[in-house]
Amino acid sequence: MEEEKKVKAAKAEEKKEPAKKAPAKKAEPAEAKKPSAAALKAALAQMEEQETGKKKNTALWRVLSFVMWALAIVAMYLPQIGDLELPFGAMRMLVLKNYTPMIIDIVVAVALCIGAALLWKKANHIHPIKSHNKIAQFIWNQLGLIMAFLIFFVIGLVLILKNDKLDAKTKKIAIAALAAITLLVGGVSADYHPVTQDEVDKVTQEYNIDTQDPDGCYWTTYGRKYHLFDDCQALSNTSAENLHHTSLQEAWEANRGELCSFCAKRATDNGLTDTPAISPNNP
Ligand SMILES: [Zn+2]
């Protein structure tokens, strides 16, 4: 018995060895991963907040998102309240075979959910989630998709299945319609370029962004965004007198706080190194 235990212990020891070494291997500098365009945009947006002292009110946008999601639930599922003849509650209208208000309610709920998700994503792309937890990051970044699934599919399915006033055929059609609406709203609400604060911090630490560089960026008299490249496709129709060439700081002060998506993608595709006003911190 004693002998057997020793052998087992030795074997366990053997197994432990490589497991201990594995993390050390991972810590070796891997091939530098290029930052995402979304991370660059968020890093610049946070820098703008710091330098101009004007914080974007993402907390308010998030509150508005939840208000809109709540209103979408009202539009879809408001029950009968006493004798009040409220036109909201698509599910109740379905039972009453009152189809016109039902369709209007669904359209309103779809618009509210999409609006909420777009606002939520906009907030995330300026102030991303700080948690390092992958599950928390997924829930936070894909909350629009999750809410679309909960509001249009989960709640709807439960209420339809529980309803004894609807016949089997109507139930089937209603469930199929809910699935289609869920796919539509979920597809628009999902964040295909999620970003975390860790990625944003990496951009800020690894690259030196010179906000005072007079060659920093371009913006136009009528456009709301600023550009890093003068040959950006979005600038092709801009006449010379409407094109401004300034530092990032001046663009921000002129209320051009958002980086153009074409330029963000091109900068990160280049690893940022060929970008005006952005150079590696440790060349
Ligand atoms: Zn551009």
Q: Is residue 209 within 8 Å of 248, Cβ to Cβ?
A: yes
Q: Is residue 184 within 8 Å of 110, Cβ to Cβ?
A: yes
* Mean pLDDT of the 119-132 span: 96
What tens digit of pLDDT does each residue of 71-124 get? 999 999 999 998 888 889 999 999 999 999 999 999 999 999 999 999 999 999
Residue 139 has pLDDT above 60, yes or no: yes
> How confident is the model at residue 25, as a pLDDT?
44
What tens digit of pLDDT does each residue of 30-67 get? 455 788 999 999 999 999 999 889 999 999 999 999 99
Instruction: Give, in order, the Cα–Cα distances in Å from 199 to each of 132, 191, 194.
Output: 11, 16, 10
- Residue 260 C-alpha to ligand 1 middle, in angstroms? 4
- Residue 32 C-alpha to ligand 1 middle, in angstroms? 25
How crowded is residue 190: how many other Cβ atoms within 10 Å of its Cβ?
16
> How confident is the model at residue 6, as a pLDDT?
55
What tens digit of pLDDT does each residue of 149-179 get? 999 999 999 999 999 999 999 999 999 999 9
- Residue 141 C-alpha to ligand 1 middle, in angstroms? 25
* Mean pLDDT of the 242-271 span: 92
- Residue 134 C-alpha to ligand 1 middle, in angstroms? 32
The rounded mean pLDDT for the chain is: 88
> How confident is the model at residue 276, as a pLDDT?
76
- Rounded Cα distance between 138 and 186, Å, is 14
Q: Where are the domains of the chain?
A: 39-189, 210-280
